[in-house]
Structure 1
Amino acid sequence: MAARGHVQDPNDRRLRPIYDYLDNGNNKMAIQQADKLLKKHKDLHCAKVLKAIGLQRTGKQDEAFSLAQEVATLEPTDDNSLQALTILYREMHRPELVTKLYEAAVKKVPLSEEYHSHLFMAYARVGEYKKMQQAGMALYKTVPKNPYYFWSVMSLVMQAISAQDEKLAQTMFLPLAERMVEKMVKEEKIEAEAEVQLYFMILERLGKYVEALDMVRGPLGEKLTSELQSRENKCMMMYQRLQLWPECNALSYKLLLKNPDEWQFYLSYFDSLFHLMDKSWSPPNEEEHCVEGPVQTTVAEAVKFVVDRMEEEDKKDSRPLRGPYMACLELIHRLRQRGCPDEEELGDPLELMLQFFGKFGDKPCCITDLKIYLHLLPPEQHTQFRNRLGELVPLGEVGEDGFGFPGDTKALQRHLCVCQLSRVLGLQHTLDTEGKLCLITELKAHYHYGLQFGKSCLKTELQFSDTYCLMVAHVYIDLWTETGDENMLWQCLGVLEEGLSYSPSNAQFKLLLLLLFCRLGAFQPVVDLYSSLDAKHVQHDTIGYLLTRYAGSLGQFAAASQSYNFSLRFFHSNQKDTSEYIIQAYKYGAFEKIPEFIAFRTRLNQSLHFAQVRTERMLLDLYTEADITSSLEESVKAMGLCPEEDDIPWDNMRDNRDLTVLFSWDPKDRELTEEHRRLSLEEESVWLKVRSLTLRLLASLALLRHAPSSRNSDKTNENGVSAKSSTLQTLLSHHTGPLTVVVFGSCHCQASALQLSLTLQELETTGLGKMRDVDFRTTGLQPSTVCVVLWVASYSASVLRPLKSSLQKKKKKTKDSSTAMPVVLSGFQEWTGSLQGIVTQALDHVKGQEASLAALKLEECGFTRAAMDKVQTSYLGSLQELGDLLRKRADSLKSLKF
């Protein structure tokens, strides 16, 4: 805001101190300075707006908005006021008001290129594509520059993309966009690559692949230069869409001759080859095969082509390329799938893999390259393959501990690759307990020996031998799951803590520690681990579940709130950030990125994780604050909860979780499958439904508590009580209906308590005379369940107190002291007494657990002891926070007696 260069305008000089104060975060001084300036210059609109920005930043939103609207109604045209109002409205999350500002400015100054441009960008922020199209054309007519014309064209494309009626998009918006571009083509006004990219996008969306191909091949295609092989890639895409397999094959062949390491072209070469074979296609005798050159149509030609590429790499003095060697394995894989005997001409897969390892075994990518082709080896060759690989690893002489160690980092990487391949082949999993413990000893020895190669590494760099440490942890986890021996888990934690001490930036160590601590119920160290991962942007959606999934249930309420904020901060900024990306894409002509940004925003808005975190955060706030710092009604109102509305997009839910973020070298039969993913998503969705319904039920309960009494009135629908109880009844039927998860445990207890509130609402309407027996029995010691039951008890008290008062007045009038207390009132008193007893017992149990944990003396030492200390400290913290919450709830329970 302050970066305004040399100031000449007197008003700019006067405003400069206010800008400086705002830039430095001194908002109070900015307000004072603005007030001083406005006393002398009452008509200085920008000063008012800058004051409003200061008020907004100090939490006085209503006052700031009122002051801003004073200026906005005057329809200012000075740049200072318009820019300041734009900043203010963005901070208020009211981008729609910026459009009105510039609409007025454009009317007053119709020839201003700047104001027209700002108006277009303001529409872009709110996604008004039709108005963007009109604003773009108006700007082009004012200042006839190509970019402005194509802004309008792109806005038409966006109308097509966002149109709910696909027929309308295909028959109106896209054809109109195509005609607009064709007009510029005919007039030879196409200037930039971005304009050609947009033309290609339009043709592709219209399904006019032949026209798109002709365009790319023609003079316009020569402008596609920003990306390497952009023109060829687009041609390849169109060939595949049009199923022009001869052209696809010839182009792939030609490009592979130029660059034999381009993997995508090997895949298109093989795809096209087998399509041609399936169609029995043969080249014409005299004419050229196709426009791209000669076509290969037989397996023999393909085998020769791949073998020739490998031989050329073997002859090179420089570092060989991996592409040809992997292509050989890929071709064997495809031939085997088709049952072709020609695979023997390429060689034995085992020998080819050994050759590959010999050339590339010192690269970390070797394991990922070979892993996808290990299925080519029969099980009886697995041990032989591992032994043959071991022979290619240069290790030193065997020492006293029985192990030989690598002499440099390249040899270390080769040995690591052998160990990883051994695990992928399942050879480590078949070992017995003793064998696995021996393996752990060997891997630990190699890990510690390898640390000497990383003595000069920075803290941000990984140690060369980190993977040994990670594999040790995986073997310990195998032993823990197979034997149930918890000592294996503690040893695993110790190993990971040790690894993290030498390699503080290793994300895999942190992720595995995070998961294991959560499994142990220790959430306190998890928040620090996640923070140290320094997750960026979309990672909060893809890996955030590792943190938030366990947050609310492990007793660390403050840490849980912090972890929810990690994720919510990203999701809430997504809308604003994406709008800025779209604007930048328009400015720089990156039109093909705009639909990607829109799709990205939609993907995040429909994220399963977003819905989970938002729901859990509101529930946590209610459990820890409602009826403690503020009433349940006030808390629900502050959250803007409406029990009738369900804003979770159930039909379009997106599971963006990265379930493979943790390294794994498990064999194929132990890998994560699509069925596992489907079941996981199903379980998460069911639990989200339970939690969402619980939240809406609590909002309904709050509205019942807030509703005026319906006694002495026949018009219950007019005061809303009937409607609100109907909402509660409907939600309860959803909660206890198809969701079998709520049949037992705390969910069932909460549902029973909420059902009680409905019964009492009926009692409030009918009076004591018609209902005397109410079942107050509820059980459950979960903190959330205690909160729900106490809120129901509070509502019960609000219903029963007036009824008891009315009964006492009747007794005084009739002077009848022998009338027994109604069963419902005595039942409520017994119920609240039992609740008090349950909460007291829970508090005593928490205190006892705290004392036991505090007195616990650990015998372990080293890194395992450090892990145990973290778990112990976390347990103590959880117990303290649980105890604090229960004490506060016990205090609120005392106020319910009457």
Structure 2
Amino acid sequence: MAIQQADKLLKKHKDLHCAKVLKAIGLQRTGKQDEAFTLAQEVAILEPTDDNSLQALTILYREMHRPELVTKLYEAAVRKVPTSEEYHSHLFMAYARVGEYKKMQQAGMALYKIVPKNPYYFWSVMSLVMQAISAQDEKLSQTMFLPLAERMVEKMVKEEKIEAEAEVQLYFMILERLGKYVEALEVVQGPLGEKLTSELQSRENKCMMLYRRLERWAECNALSCKLEIVPFDPDDWQFYILYFDSLFHLIDQSWAPPQEGAHSAEGEVHASTAQAISFMKDRIATEEAKESKHLRGPYLARLELIRRLRVRSCPEAQQLGEPLELMFQFFVKFGDKPCCITDLKIFLDLLTPDQHVQFINRLMEAVPLCAPGEDGVALPGDTRALQRHLCVTQLSRSLGQQHALNTEGKLGLIKELKAHYQHGLQFGKSCLKTELQFSDMYCLMAAHVYVDLWLETGESNMLWQCLGLLEEGLSHSSSNAQFKLLLLLLYCRLGAFEPVVDLYSSLDAKHVQHDTIGYLLTRYAESLGQFAAASQSCNFSLRFFHSNQKDTSEYIIQAYKYGAFEKIPEFIAFRNRLNHSLHFAQVRTERMLLDLFLEADISSPLEESVKSMSLCLEEDDIPWDSLRDNRDLTVLVSWDPKDRQLNEEHKQRSLEEDTLWLRLRSLTLRLIGCVSALTHPPASRNSEKTTENGVTAKPYRTMLFFLSNPLLSKILLHITLQYPFVGPVASRLAQALSSGCCQCQLSSLQLPLHLQELETTGLDESTELQTQISNLFKSLAVQLQDMLEKCKGDLLEVKDGQSKPQPFLLENLVYFVESVCIVLWVSNYCGSVLRPLKSTSTVTVGAPPVLSAYQEFSSSLQSLLNQALEHIKSQELSLTALELGALSLEGQTQSEAEETFTKTAMDKVHSSYLRSLQEIGELLKKRADTLKSLKI
């Protein structure tokens, strides 16, 4: 409709620029990009100056992801209308979108000369700072860009033209980057500092930061001490930490106050443990004198001081009291607040192991519970009592007391936790659907104990009951992200991807969360055989990463408009962090591989599929040296004791494994791309093509070397590190190696090089080479058969009336399918080489060995695919016939409601397995149909 309306206008006014551009926008949005671009260029080449045409072209170029064309538009407009403030402003913003900092500086000054307003002047200054930040040469930044920016601001200061807080912030940023902390301190403490009013305690925070940088610990100590009392917030934790840091620096330096005058520019300084202890006692006394609304900061600061004194083996720590008693007092005051657990958890290391039981018992004494019921469980009478009991229960787990229980003890604990959970639901009857229930944490902790039992005993019943409990919890508290995350993780560990997609979608992840927690979804997306859902999941993540570039540019422009200069480097750093994300590189690579496995040589030839991806075969575009691990590995709640918690070794090992897996997948993708470049029909065989193949073979040989090198070494060195259950998800590397897919794919990808050599040599003079190729075909058939054998078994193994999932079989099956795809592509290339050679062979008795071996290999592939399809069919029939409701769940009596939720969870896993088998089977059938093309 819009295009028709534009055409009507153009019939009447054929030179109406805006109508042409609006028509181009319509064409762009209907998928006719080339026509749209041609029409837009017809207008752009005329260098229009009317605002409507310029704005419309800007919209069009942004939709085309061609922001660099917008700069040319406004450059022309400014040349024609050199006094236009609006066009100069648009030109500056156009440069900002493409990061042309030098031109931004020039545009800003040109704008200031036309309209001498402070914001335009400081746009130019900020552009100089950005040149400094983005410069490859740090020396150039420190000797040219930043000093020039400093001089430009100093000129405005001397002329007393500084008007806004943003200008002072920019001056401070420049001095800070130059390392001129003394000068920066003078600015903050001087008249210009009075403009820093947008943030609470902005001047004080900046002074504190500079004192630390200058190692002026006396001033740092005095200021932090002053800020903890009046008139500022005495509950601000950061100032207590700064107070302690400065205190011990002064003690280490044996600092002594001057004999005359003030201790420091900020007032009195504390430089001894006695003064610190006295100060803390005064703060506590002030809080104790209050009748209500006690602040937590002073009480926690006292525990922090004890910790630091103990680390330094200072006996004065005893003067502050016994940690167990102090923590008990803290619990009495704040135990009914949800933050109490996180407050006390960080100080549990102050207790000795033999104090753990005593500590929990003391806390339980301060929890008002009703008399025990028929089941022997004493329950709280209100939400405040519930919160206190919940806090004690969480602390008990954090101290390892729950982990130390035997199986019977843990089952008893689960029964007690479930009783508390069910009882607590009555307090949340009036809650909205989007609100969490007061007792949700009991349900979550019971699930964690079930997981403990599953990992210790290997009994799948524990896992089924855990899933049922979490499904029940989610039915009462549909917005509980922790329930969803743990369910997501458990379903993935079981190989059931179908329920995971809806769970992740219901989390309603926002913006950067697609990077920080998206790995929980995409790690399992393709490996569990649900290719359609995997494709959807990858697209979900990629949309966020691709929009990041455009969105960040808009943030930067808004920061310039509103003078938030200090945010601009943050936005740039954020953009780089996402562009270099490990997760981004993984999803992009996996999505391209998935597209090839699903479509190449099925809906379109391999060569066309690779070409549509704009894949660079010669150079790897993954920034290996600057990859960022942005995963949030602590997103799931955990109360594990320190020896079971996620540590730096786990994080580093997980990063190494994921990076290695990405290298293998990236190399495999590019090698497949090279195979497509090598493939050519008989008609195009000539010297020119042969030369081209020779060029293609160079990167192929190099990549093959890199693929085999790390693979072979890692096969020997790879030792799986056991991660905490709620820590990093295991890399696909270990399962890929055990399935045999890595070695199989490597063997198949070696064939094209041998076939190229055979093509050059010919059949008549290559007996040894033919034998080598024949042996490779035989080896490959054996490897594929071994891989298929590792796929055989029941996904849901039923034994003694109990169902045990075996998800590794599903993952092995996916690796088998991937390997078959690659083998078929390579075989297709082999066939394209051998067909012409067959017709030119002078062998009169029998077929050449390599041709016989190839035909035998083609036949074995047909047989192998038939076996695989039969196995999948038998698994589908077996699962369909399986009556999950008849399976027992021994080990714990369940109520009728609990059995219903457990049955729901089992049905979801069952349905997911069937879906996976169906999609894998369909893909294998399509691949089997392509076997006809292998005949020679």
TM-score tier, shorter chain, comes to over 0.9
Partner of 2:894: none
Superposed displacement of residue 805, structure 1: 3.1
| Residues 1:742 and 1:75: Cα distance change in structure 2 (over 3 Å) | farther
Task: Judge conservation of contact 2:681–2:832 (CA < 8 Å) in 1.
Answer: no
Alignment check: 8 A CA contact 1:711 1:766 kept = no
Distance in structure 2 (CA, Å) of the matches to 1:828 and 1:238:
74
Residue 750 (str. 1) matches residue 745 (str. 2): yes
> Counterpart in 2 of 1:848?
874
TM-score when scaled to structure 1?
A: 0.95
From 827, 836, 853, give the equivalent of 1:793.
827
Give the drift of 1:233. 0.3
Distance 1:676 1:560 in 2: 27
Q: Match for residue 157 of structure 1?
A: 129
Q: What is the match of residue 154 of structure 2?
A: 182
Within 5 Å, give how 1:514-533 maps onto structure 2.
514-533=488-507
1:651 counterpart letter in structure 2 = D
- State the distance in 2 between where 1:206 and 1:707 align: 63
Written as runs of structure 1 = structure 2, the 5 A alignment for 1:410-809 is 410-706=384-680, 713=687, 719-740=691-712, 741=714, 745-771=740-766, 772-773=770-771, 774-775=773-774, 776-777=777-778, 778=780, 779-780=783-784, 781=788, 782-807=816-841
**TM-score, reference length from structure 2:** 0.91
CA distance in 2, matches of 1:395, 1:738: 60
Given that 2:427 and 2:438 are in contact with CA atoms closer than 8 Å, whether structure 1 keeps it comes out as yes
State the Cα distance separating 1:305 from its structure 2 match. 1.0
Partner of 1:7 in structure 2?
none
CA contact (8 A) 2:671 2:703 kept: yes
The one-letter code of the counterpart of 1:582 is I
| Structure 1 pair 311–235 and aligned structure 2 pair: CA distance change class (3 A) | same
CA–CA distance in 2 between the matches of 1:108 and 1:707? 56
Give 3-state SS (helix, strand or coil) of 1:739's partner.
Answer: helix
Structure 1 CA distance for aligned equivalents of residues 520 and 683 of structure 2: 46
Structure 1 position 359 matched with structure 2 position 393: no
**Runs of 4+ in structure 1 over 6 Å off:** 707-712
Q: Which residue of 2 aligns with 1:170?
A: 142
1:877 counterpart = 2:915 = yes
CA distance in 2, matches of 1:716, 1:846: 42
Structure 1, residues 711-739: CA drift from partner, whole Å, max 9, x if none?
774x777x311111222111111111132
Distance in 2 (alpha carbons) for counterparts of 1:824 and 1:532: 56
Q: Is the 8 A contact 2:680 2:832 kept in 1?
A: no
Q: Separation in 1 of the partners of 2:879 and 2:567?
A: 56
SS of aligned partner of 1:405 = coil
1:318-371: per-residue Cα shift (whole Å, max 9, x none)? 310000000000000000011111111111100100011011111111111111
Residue-by-residue CA offset, 1:8-28 (whole Å, 9 max, x unaligned): xxxxxxxxxxxxxxxxxxxxx
User: SS of 1:720's equivalent?
Assistant: helix
Deviation larger for 432-441 or 295-304: 295-304
Equivalence for 1:26? none
Asked if residue 52 in structure 1 is aligned to residue 24 in structure 2, the reply is yes
Contact 2:337 2:387 in 1 (8 A): yes
Partner of 2:186: 214
Find the aligned partners of 1:102 and 1:345 in 2 and give their Cα distance. 72
Which structure 2 residues correspond to residues 287-302 of structure 1 after superposition, within 5 A?
Answer: 287-302=261-276
8 Å CA contact 1:133, 1:155 repeated in 2:
yes
- State the alpha-carbon separation in 2 of the partners of residues 430 and 486 from structure 1: 21
Pick one of 127, 130, 152 that aligns with 2:102.
Answer: 130
- Aligned position for 1:311: 285
Indicate conservation of the 8 Å contact 1:707/1:720, yes or no. no
Point out where structure 1 has 5 or more consecutive residues left out of the alignment.
1-28, 812-817
Residue by residue over 1:363-383, the C-alpha shift from the partner in whole angstroms, topping out at 9 and shown as x without a partner, is 111111111110000000000
- Out of 34, 39, 42, which is 1:62 matched to? 34
Structure 2 residue matching 1:770: 3-state secondary structure: coil
CA distance in 2, matches of 1:428, 1:709: 73
**Aligned pair partner of 2:248 in 252, 274, 277:** 274
SS in 2 for 1:213: helix
Q: Work out whether residues 710 and 764 of structure 1, in 8 Å CA contact, stay in contact via their aligned partners in 2.
A: no
CA contact (8 A) 1:578 1:601 kept: yes
Which segment is superposed worse, 216-225 or 253-262?
A: 253-262
Alignment-derived partner of residue 3 in structure 1:
none
Cα offset, 1:797, TM superposition: 1.3
Question: Structure 1 residues 710, 758: closer, same or farther in 2, change over 3 A?
Answer: farther
Aligned residue pair count: 860
Percentage of pairs with the same residue: 75
**Aligned residue type for 2:934:** L
Secondary structure of the 1:768 match is coil
Tell me by how many angstroms 1:804 deviates: 2.2
Partner of residue 805, structure 2: none
Separation in structure 2 between the aligned mates of residue 289 and residue 328 of structure 1, nearest angstrom: 25
- Cα distance 1:708–1:345, how it changes in 2: closer, same or farther (>3 A)? farther
Answer whether contact 2:302 2:320 (CA < 8 A) is retained: yes
User: Alpha-carbon deviation of 1:454?
Assistant: 0.7
Partner residue, 2:811:
none
* 1:373 alignment partner in structure 2: 347
Give the Å deviation of 1:620: 0.4
| Aligned mate of 1:117, from 83, 89, 95 | 89
SS in 2 for 1:895: helix
For 1:285, which of 240, 259, 265 is the aligned residue? 259
3-state DSSP of counterpart to 1:553: coil
1:590 is displaced (CA, Å) by 0.3
1:885-896 matched pairs, under 5 angstroms = 885-896=923-934
Question: Which SS does the other structure have where 1:239 is aligned?
Answer: helix
CA contact (8 A) 2:270 2:276 kept: yes
- The answer on 1:238 being equivalent to 2:210 is yes
User: Do the aligned residues in 1 keep the contact of 2:741 with 2:819 (CA within 8 Å)?
Assistant: yes
Separation in 1 of the partners of 2:604 and 2:213?
62
RCO higher in structure (CA 8 A, sep ≥6): 2
